[in-house]
Structure 1
């Protein structure tokens, strides 16, 4: 009888966790980095004469900016690309290219266009870990002091542009 109650209790706990998980919005992922400065990272720069891409490159831009973690093999990254091109007309976007091949990235950018101010190659995924990335694409909005103010999980769709643009505008005029 004791064993029966233990199993029944265990099943209720599992059911509770499962139901709670279904209620959560997958785009809302907690980030320990919100309102904190850009994390330390240093990766190889792509499509540039400079050797490295690091936190310092991002901090040099004293304005609102975006950091987008993406890959050429990522279908949702392809879906969000037109929105990144629109955003890049008004704001610098830094790219962290996760676990990709340089030649694949070059072909991808040649086909779709390059919205990035600078791109770094995160070959082993460690820079993405420093940023607290769960999956790609993920996009961060940074203020002029390079503090992370907003994190968007998943592809930026046309319907997301209004939200992101309003966040950018509110940060610019703080």
Structure 2
């Protein structure tokens, strides 16, 4: 007889306290704190390609997944250009037409120290990509310090990206 009310109270407590986590909108990442997956990209014509060794070169960096067809990617682009003045930003062009990707960069500017194409999305699967844009802060040893899903904003840069860059530099 007392079991149904106890089950109800237990479930209510679980739902209530489960929704009190710090950032309910944050998507979990199985990659944070672990080594970045391998880089497997193809070249975009005329652009410098980066590889796996780049992620483990001793320098803090950002990896940004983007596409020319992605409106939020266009919105965050000026902030990537600003961040590129502070730390190298490496681009992964996700499931995009190479010509349109190059046109996007010609129009808006190219903030990427190097870039590659993930035409079939295989690398994105290995990285746990939810969708574009996504930005990763990578420590010099290749450890993923932060994965931010969605377009970065000034608030995200100040409160999530820069603190992760500082933590990566302190490693």
The TM-score, its normalising length taken from structure 2, stands at 0.81
Structure 2 unmatched runs, 5+? 1-10
CA-based RMSD of the aligned residues comes to 2.3
Structure 2 CA distance for aligned equivalents of residues 49 and 87 of structure 1: 19
Structure 1 segments, 4+ long, off by >2 Å, are 23-26, 47-50, 56-60
Change in Cα spacing, 1:44 to 1:53, as seen in structure 2 (3 Å) is: farther
1:54 aligns with 2:51: yes
Structure 2 CA distance for aligned equivalents of residues 166 and 47 of structure 1: 34
Aligned residues: 154
Structure 2 CA distance for aligned equivalents of residues 140 and 154 of structure 1: 11
1:139 aligns with 2:135: yes
The partner residue of 1:152 within 138, 148, 151 is 148
Q: 1:114 is matched with which residue?
A: 110
Within-5 A mapping of 1:2-21 = none
1:32 aligns with 2:33: no
Contact kept in structure 2, 1:41 and 1:130, CA below 8 Å: no
Structure 1 unmatched runs, 5+? 1-12
Q: 2:157 is matched with which residue?
A: 161
Secondary structure of 1:100's aligned partner: coil
Q: 2:125 is matched with which residue?
A: 129
Contact kept in structure 2, 1:85 and 1:114, CA below 8 Å: yes
1:101 aligns with 2:97: yes
Contact kept in structure 1, 2:50 and 2:90, CA below 8 Å: no
Structure 1 CA distance for aligned equivalents of residues 137 and 166 of structure 2: 11
What do residues 34-68 of structure 1 show as CA deviations (whole Å, max 9, x unaligned)? Answer: 11111023120224476x643223223x2110000
Contact kept in structure 1, 2:55 and 2:141, CA below 8 Å: no
Contact kept in structure 2, 1:58 and 1:94, CA below 8 Å: no
The TM-score, its normalising length taken from structure 1, stands at 0.79
Contact kept in structure 1, 2:55 and 2:140, CA below 8 Å: no
Contact kept in structure 2, 1:44 and 1:53, CA below 8 Å: no
